[in-house]
Structure 1
Amino acid sequence: MPGSELYEKFMTLHTREGGLVMPNAWDGLSALVLADAGFEAIGTSSAALAASLGRFDGRHGITREEHLEHARLLGRVTGLPINGDFEDGYGVTSEDVATTVEAAVASGLAGIGIEDTSGRPDQPIRDFDEAVGRVRGAVTAAKGRIVVTGRTDNFLQGRPDLEDTVRRLTAFAEAGADALYAPLLPDLDALVTVVTAVAPTPVNVLISPSDHVLTVPELQKAGVKRISLGPALYTHAAEALEQAARALVAGDLASATTGMSFDRVNALLSRTTD
């Protein structure tokens, strides 16, 4: 599907009544499980991808090409629109970000997120003008072929400044971002403030505000247009693995070996579009 058609298809999911729930996969099988459940689009998770490779998230531990290949895999096996959680765009300059966007379009991605993070623990959030310039560079490169999400990680990085968060998201929208995202907003009031301030640009939420996990209908009522889960499904699976490992250490083979049958695995694999 050409980039412009994929862009329109993915944007339609954002702008329709209720928007979409976009869970994040971490390998081919998890993507197939989500596709089989009926989800219409899938996101990558930079945190889950990094952890699966034994690396830390947000410190440039994953390369652009590694993430692109991962995203291409999810798209190949499912045939669904894939949104790339591409950290800060994998580059020092706005031109580097544009190169990443071009590569994402060439790889068949439907969407790409650009954060205002720096990968530097001493100064994790980029200056305002630099952050806006990078989103503008991404939008210019996108040319209506891929959905660009402008994201600020203020709250995720320990900077609980709602005013600055709204300022950044508003500027990202003015720079042409198709969707906006501020993970870990503290409560529903803050979420509604963001949604109202940037309307009509669609807003993504990571599961819920920090203080309380809401239902999908409650988030939709608040005006959220996209719900993502980040690494939550990956860590859910990891918790099940840890429990199985503890059972195995205790000698309980039965508890350690429950789960999806390999017949089911093969049935899912047989449905790949690859």
Structure 2
Amino acid sequence: MQAQSFANYPEKNITIIVGFPPGTATDTIARILAERFTNRLGKSFIIENKPGQGGSLGAGIAAQAIPDGHTLLLSATAPFATNPHLYAKLNYDSRKSFAPIGLVSWLPYVMVTNPKSGLNSMQDLIEKSKLEPNKYTFASIGNGSTSHLMMSMLTSQAEIKMTHIPYKGSSQSQTDLIGGQVDVTFDTVLTLMPHIKSGKLKALATGGLTRTSFAPDVPTVDELGLKGFNGGAWLGLFSPAGTPRPIVDRLHKELNAALEDPEIVKRMLGIGSEVLMSKNPSEFEEFIKVEYQKWGQRVKESGAKIE
């Protein structure tokens, strides 16, 4: 694309690749943004779901696209910060294969238990686990998933031992948690809040440094004594490396304008997602570098690997 044509961007319809299935938070937010961008930029923004490898299949496809701003990627923490440390081989480099555009949202996590488990609080879990190592179990939505790594962080920081039970997804882990087959889990507020509200599950703590607006009465892990504990999932918008900076800057401006729109904020809150913005693409790029190192250390400590 020639320099003089940047002003004409976009010149055709734009594909937003999503590495997760339809109906997920990432997919829903991509569709909210696509609708906004279509109205603002005069071309259709089309969602293309490419699920697999914990979001990394879609990231790999986006990385190979022509870097002209007409193929974008809406992705999450895992393909950029955890999967590179988990998978033996990926067909992209999360730090070099993309031109980061901007942060989009934060998906807060909450730790829950079955009300009949006998665990009354996070401190109660820690104290009982110290007395009886490996007695208590925690579910995750898969080996190396955010839910696994956050519980691994907690057990490491609290110096306790628990038994990890990996599942293939949230619906399975939550069914067994409600049924009493497993004791605790960390998962998104989005997926757990209906069960918390119905009384089927009890919230023990949230994973961020500050309380989430979705569960303001639930204390953070940090508040409860494990200082500095901070975990959750972010979403961000990317283009392939080599995308001209004027296009990246244009998309960043449009993205932040969308995230400041009260109607879009309301729709995102409605699916359990808090707006998270970056001042500019460079700030987002630095954020990814920090996340890569942080989650890499967490993967190492957990011992998780995926062949």
TM over 0.5: no
Q: Which has the higher strand share?
A: 2
* Greater RCO (CA < 8 Å, at least 6 residues apart): 2
Q: Which has the higher helix share?
A: 1
Q: Which has the larger radius of gyration?
A: 2
TM-score, scaled to structure 1? 0.30
TM-score, scaled to structure 2? 0.28
